[in-house]
Structure 1
Amino acid sequence: MSHTVDTAGRSSDTDTTAAPRPGYGRLLRTPGAWTFLLPGFAARQPFAMLTIGIVLLVEHTSGSYGTAGAVAAVTGVSMALFAPQGGKLADRFGQRAVLVPGVLVHAVSVTALIALALAGAPLWALFAAAVPTGASVPQIGPMVRSRWAAVLGKGNRSSLLPTAAAFESVTDEFTFVIGPVLATALATGVHPAAGLIAEGALTLVGGLLFAAQRGTQPRTAEQRRPGGAGTPARPRASALSVPGIPVLAVAFLGIGSVFGGMQVSLTAFAEEIGKPGSNGVLYGIFAAGNMLAGIVCGAVAWKVGPRRRLLLAYAALTLAASVLWTVHSAPLLAGLGLLVGLCIAPALITGYTLVESLVPPEARTEAFTWLTGAVALGQAAAVTVAGQLADAHGASAGFLVPLAGTALALATLVALRSRLSPKGPGHVAARGMSHRVPVTVD
């Protein structure tokens, strides 16, 4: 990737024949793109269905949002801990080698979790099933982003990378429009376990189809090694060695707190007003705001540098989240949820774009999974705390969780913003990992 930022903070690419911000049409005409986009779209749906599916099923069988949130939290923590390891293995051995066994384990684990919940098993048994369920969630989003980086790195298409980051955010949020609504509709209209059953089926089928697309799979670290796979391996550092990645991970915890806090609190709110099926619609409106903002972000040629954009996005997100707990009307909550959603996409897109400039290709999938893992961890913590607050004090108290999470993320970004720029004259070196990147300024 060759991307520079001038002293005024304007983005420009070394490919002078390209438009300042190439559109989605040009991106989608990239050779080979549709071969991984379509199966990837199906395989990433479960990411948006898993938490809400667990909450709806376990709350139905236990009668407690706190218990349901705890089980969902164990799943989220497990995913957050294991996702970066899966990303590291995918970078080293290839995505297919990680995906195929992973989706098989996930299907079995979800089946066990459903059976235990319906049988009224004790909480420790649900926790035992939740651990492999979360650990085996396929990290399709990071893998798709790595495929974009690999495909666009050929043929001087690097100017499309920011557009690809925006497109992926839109796709992620489209899944958060469809996934929760679908899971809720199935759980409330068909059977309490139907949402999780659909999640497991989509993971298995979509994951296997995605893994079968070998032509666009990024080269492994072994294949990138100078001299080929037969030469001795050089020491390879974790993506966390790059100073900006831990900062972004903490920031993405805040986004996870919004997702988790909104899911539980909207579910509790819908129960309080006597319309339990409306939580999927309310959450879908929130996610739709995220998707719409992502579409706009992908079409704008920004004159503000990415680090400043990130700070502004988190400031806006914190401000919007600060009034959620005061609203007691469904229409007002839907409108405010839309506003919160509009603030998320700029933060996500900018964070993922910064990864492209901070992390070398051989560690990029791992870096992306640290961020998605941070979202999952933040979501897990938020689901637990919001569930307990909703049980004890009502739905309004649960909405305090997104405020706390985004405020902490904003404070971290303000304090450590210098780490989001490569150190020195365009060079990053971290315990055996060294690559040339452009200097990024505000």
Structure 2
Amino acid sequence: MTKTHIVSRTNLLREAGLAYFIVAFIARLPFAMMVVGVLTVAVSARGSLSLGGLTSAAVGLGTACFGPLLGAAADRFGQRVVLLTLAIANATTLVVFTVVVYGVAADPFVLLAAFGIGATAPQVAPMSRSRLVAIIDERMPESVRARTLSGTMAYESAADETVFVFGPFLVGVLASLIAPWAPLVIAAALTVLFVGAFALHPSGSHISRDRDADGRATSRAAELFRADLLVVVIGILGVGIFFGTMLTSLTSFMADRGAPEQAGLLYGVMGVGSAILALGVAWLPPRFSLRARWLVFSGTLLLGSLLLGFVDTTIGMTAALAIMGVGIGPTLVTQYSFGAARSPRGRSATVMTMLGSGVILGQSLGAAVTGEVAESIGTSGALMLPVIAAAITFATGILNWFLSHGRPRSR
């Protein structure tokens, strides 16, 4: 580890504070519990696996529809007021969904309540990235910004990976020890406490210097639709689709072997490896450019996914997942780094929520489609869908290579 890296990381830790990282980590846990939590409750209360899958998709759709709008509101009015409002609204919708799903309301009302959960979901991870990017851009010496940004995106992605592995596990434990409704009620309590604390942290009152006195951005909204930024959104959507298709097809694969409950354990092989490799991105040499990283690591992901067509044992599947874990984490870090570098001035939270919503939307749609394919065609057909998702991610990496000019354009 270089002296420069140690100094930059120490400065960022001092600027944000250790309490910030602890609160921001726990505050994103309820979101990781929601998708699996609504699925668990819907299946338990209504006895319908199909409805359970649709409720999970409804959560993702709600997030995709409203996430970028919430990011834009945070850019315009500041994160504090937006997050405090969402903490109360989301906790309320979690409780409302629990009451509705156990009641006599028709299924469409259950789906509407699930959509409300996604629509009011506090975008903690994107908001955290936006805050830290602002701190790096505005308070850090220019000589260490690039290195610090890379390490920050690596940490944030590793935190997301860890939470999304631990969140479903926690849902299973709470549902087994208490009741199927317990994970959602506890998620509501965590949302009020920790999202509220995240909102009230001093960094939550920061307004970007790229905003004028009235809170308006100095850039035009049309800049959000530049080709070099949209290719990142599509690429990260591919990553989300991969997450959803891989977990669902893996569940089908293990169900064929009489052990569907072990799917989460095998998935953890990819998740843990992905988180470790995501952290390792911070130590990659600067000459290994971002556009090259996207191609190399998404290519590794695609290679690992191609092995899915040949595995027929649990050991073979574990090996394929381990290879894919090498590619997925660093790819995600690289895409977020491009998003941070290409954000129009004063619209960092908007861009980060666009990327975060892309992951969730892709995950939800991927899971829903793969479930239908697994039931109608079988596991072999379902296992081809992660290959398609990995191919999308790799193809956008190729397109990004031509849209980039050595390095991403600095904001």
Same fold (TM over 0.5): yes
1:20 Cα deviation from its structure 2 partner: 6.3
Aligned to 1:79: 63
1:171 Cα deviation from its structure 2 partner: 1.1
1:120 Cα deviation from its structure 2 partner: 6.4
Q: What secondary structure is seen at the aligned counterpart in 2 of 1:31?
A: helix
Instruction: Please say if residues 291 and 406 of structure 2, whose CA atoms lie closer than 8 Å, have aligned partners that are also in contact.
Output: no
Q: 1:335 aligned to 2:283?
A: no
Equivalenced residue count is 406
Choose the corresponding residue for 2:166, options 148, 163, 178.
Answer: 178
Give the partner amino acid of 2:336.
Answer: Y
Q: Which runs of 5+ in 1 are unaligned?
A: 1-17, 429-436
Aligned to 2:188: 200
Q: 1:97 aligned to 2:81?
A: yes
* CA RMSD across the alignment: 2.8
**Do the aligned partners of residues 120 and 290 (structure 1) sit closer, same or farther apart at CA in structure 2, a change above 3 Å counting?**
farther
**Do the aligned partners of residues 403 and 58 (structure 1) sit closer, same or farther apart at CA in structure 2, a change above 3 Å counting?**
farther
Aligned to 2:15: 31
Aligned to 2:273: 289
Query: 1:79-114: CA deviations, max 9, x gaps?
Result: 012111111110111111111111211112122222
Q: Distance in 2 between matches of 1:243 and 1:56?
A: 39
**Do the aligned partners of residues 234 and 352 (structure 1) sit closer, same or farther apart at CA in structure 2, a change above 3 Å counting?**
closer
Query: 1:311-336: CA deviations, max 9, x gaps?
Result: 22212112212233543433433332
Give the partner amino acid of 1:194.
Answer: A
Q: 1:165 aligned to 2:165?
A: no
**Do the aligned partners of residues 271 and 170 (structure 1) sit closer, same or farther apart at CA in structure 2, a change above 3 Å counting?**
same
Query: 1:206-264: CA deviations, max 9, x gaps?
Result: 110101102454315xx6445x349x986731552333221011111111012212333
Aligned to 2:248: 264
Aligned to 1:318: 302
Between 192-201 and 350-359, report the one with greater CA deviation: 192-201
Instruction: Please say if residues 180 and 284 of structure 1, whose CA atoms lie closer than 8 Å, have aligned partners that are also in contact.
Output: no
**Do the aligned partners of residues 302 and 120 (structure 1) sit closer, same or farther apart at CA in structure 2, a change above 3 Å counting?**
farther
Between 274-283 and 164-173, report the one with greater CA deviation: 274-283
**Do the aligned partners of residues 165 and 331 (structure 1) sit closer, same or farther apart at CA in structure 2, a change above 3 Å counting?**
same
Query: 1:38-96: CA deviations, max 9, x gaps?
Result: 11111111232222222333333455544322221121111012111111110111111
Q: Distance in 1 between matches of 2:43 and 2:311?
A: 24
Instruction: Please say if residues 39 and 206 of structure 1, whose CA atoms lie closer than 8 Å, have aligned partners that are also in contact.
Output: yes
1:22 Cα deviation from its structure 2 partner: 4.5
Choose the corresponding residue for 2:349, options 350, 361, 365.
Answer: 365
Between 375-384 and 122-131, report the one with greater CA deviation: 122-131
Choose the corresponding residue for 2:334, options 342, 350, 356.
Answer: 350
**Do the aligned partners of residues 181 and 234 (structure 1) sit closer, same or farther apart at CA in structure 2, a change above 3 Å counting?**
closer
Between 303-312 and 351-360, report the one with greater CA deviation: 351-360
Give the partner amino acid of 2:73.
Answer: L
**Do the aligned partners of residues 364 and 326 (structure 1) sit closer, same or farther apart at CA in structure 2, a change above 3 Å counting?**
same
1:267 Cα deviation from its structure 2 partner: 3.6
Q: What secondary structure is seen at the aligned counterpart in 2 of 1:138?
A: coil
Instruction: Please say if residues 224 and 344 of structure 2, whose CA atoms lie closer than 8 Å, have aligned partners that are also in contact.
Output: no
**Do the aligned partners of residues 365 and 331 (structure 1) sit closer, same or farther apart at CA in structure 2, a change above 3 Å counting?**
same
Between 348-357 and 368-377, report the one with greater CA deviation: 348-357
Choose the corresponding residue for 2:72, options 88, 93, 103.
Answer: 88
Choose the corresponding residue for 1:125, options 84, 105, 109.
Answer: 109
Query: 1:387-414: CA deviations, max 9, x gaps?
Result: 1123334444333222212212322332
Between 183-192 and 337-346, report the one with greater CA deviation: 183-192
Instruction: Please say if residues 50 and 196 of structure 1, whose CA atoms lie closer than 8 Å, have aligned partners that are also in contact.
Output: yes
Q: Distance in 2 between matches of 1:111 and 1:394?
A: 36
Q: Distance in 2 between matches of 1:422 and 1:316?
A: 21
Give the partner amino acid of 2:27.
Answer: A
Aligned to 2:118: 134
Q: Distance in 2 between matches of 1:330 and 1:296?
A: 28
Q: What secondary structure is seen at the aligned counterpart in 2 of 1:303?
A: coil
Q: 1:384 aligned to 2:372?
A: no
Q: Distance in 1 between matches of 2:59 and 2:140?
A: 41
Instruction: Please say if residues 174 and 287 of structure 1, whose CA atoms lie closer than 8 Å, have aligned partners that are also in contact.
Output: yes
Aligned to 1:7: none
TM-score w.r.t. the length of structure 2 is 0.88
Instruction: Please say if residues 62 and 115 of structure 2, whose CA atoms lie closer than 8 Å, have aligned partners that are also in contact.
Output: yes
Higher helix share: 2
Between 186-195 and 363-372, report the one with greater CA deviation: 186-195
Give the partner amino acid of 1:404.
Answer: I
Q: 1:242-257 counterparts in 2 under 5 A?
A: 242-257=226-241
Give the partner amino acid of 2:166.
Answer: I
Q: Distance in 2 between matches of 1:22 and 1:119?
A: 55
Q: Distance in 1 between matches of 2:225 and 2:234?
A: 15
Q: Which runs of 5+ in 2 are unaligned?
A: none
Between 240-249 and 116-125, report the one with greater CA deviation: 116-125
Between 81-90 and 323-332, report the one with greater CA deviation: 323-332
TM-score w.r.t. the length of structure 1 is 0.83
Q: Distance in 2 between matches of 1:354 and 1:235?
A: 18
Aligned to 2:34: 50
Aligned to 2:43: 59
**Do the aligned partners of residues 68 and 244 (structure 1) sit closer, same or farther apart at CA in structure 2, a change above 3 Å counting?**
same
Aligned to 1:3: none
Calculate percent identity across the aligned residue pairs: 28
Q: 1:212 aligned to 2:196?
A: no
Q: Distance in 2 between matches of 1:286 and 1:248?
A: 23
Q: Distance in 1 between matches of 2:103 and 2:395?
A: 44
Q: Distance in 1 between matches of 2:217 and 2:248?
A: 46
Aligned to 1:6: none
